Structure 1
């Protein structure tokens, strides 16, 4: 007959620590659910969905004579689109900065990104002052 040997296993974390971690995880999941249900306006400041100030975006939108009203949803969408646009052009410019063995973006990196990517063609000449 084969005999079995019990080998003690050292716990990596105590039961109380594991329970606290699970409760914290559940709390974070509940917070995310609340944020999704209430939308971007009622989201807490630490988990903002948009990093740009919505009040400034709304002010810029209203500066256009063709815009008479701007709903909160439209302001949010414009802010999010702006963030994504800035992120995209910054990532493309970062490639050129890294090719020059630099960590800091310079104007020439943005110029190179604008020239290289067809989607940025509408920006050609905008940095010329």
Structure 2
């Protein structure tokens, strides 16, 4: 009941796809003339980034880049997708989009559960925080009962 309502609301909502794409693609923005502080801050940031890049390459062996676009292992996500009998082929783009959507979902539920942990004056998330977030937030209604042992 809840799943179908949420599914039609979020799966076919283009803004969610645009949010995923915006979080993965860096779009250059031209600085405005009316905001000189922003321009100065961007120049400082570029200078710091250049220094960091130079420092990384001066060592005996350059370390691999740590800023991956997807934090979850794509090969495991592809294996999970292929375990579904309805999925015959999974392109790299679809695997990447599923990985980013999963990351955003986990981030969203963790932030909502963090609110309950902070209300309890704790810094560590507990299962009861996730349960509270699932019970009180309508977007997570489809998860009710899934964490029960």
TM-score w.r.t. structure 1 length?
A: 0.67
**Structure 1 residues 45 and 79, CA, compared in 2 at 3 Å: closer, same or farther?**
farther
Match of 1:87 in 2: 107
Aligned equivalents of 1:63, 1:49: Cα separation in 2: 24
**Structure 1 residues 116 and 22, CA, compared in 2 at 3 Å: closer, same or farther?**
closer
**Structure 1 residues 105 and 23, CA, compared in 2 at 3 Å: closer, same or farther?**
closer
Question: Structure 1: which 4+ aligned runs deviate by more than 2 Å?
Answer: none
**Structure 1 residues 22 and 98, CA, compared in 2 at 3 Å: closer, same or farther?**
closer
Distance apart, 1:22 and its partner CA: 7.9
Pick from 91, 115, 119: which aligns with 2:139?
119
Structure 2: which 5+ runs fail to align? 1-43, 55-63
Structure 1: which 5+ runs fail to align? 1-17, 29-43
Structure 1 segment 1-129 matched on structure 2, within 5 A: 21=47, 24=50, 45-129=65-149
Larger radius of gyration: 1
Deviation string 1:80-121 (CA, Å, 9 cap, x unpaired) is 000000000000000000000111100100000001110000
Give the RMSD, CA atoms, in angstroms: 2.2
Query: What is the total number of aligned residue pairs between the two structures?
Result: 94
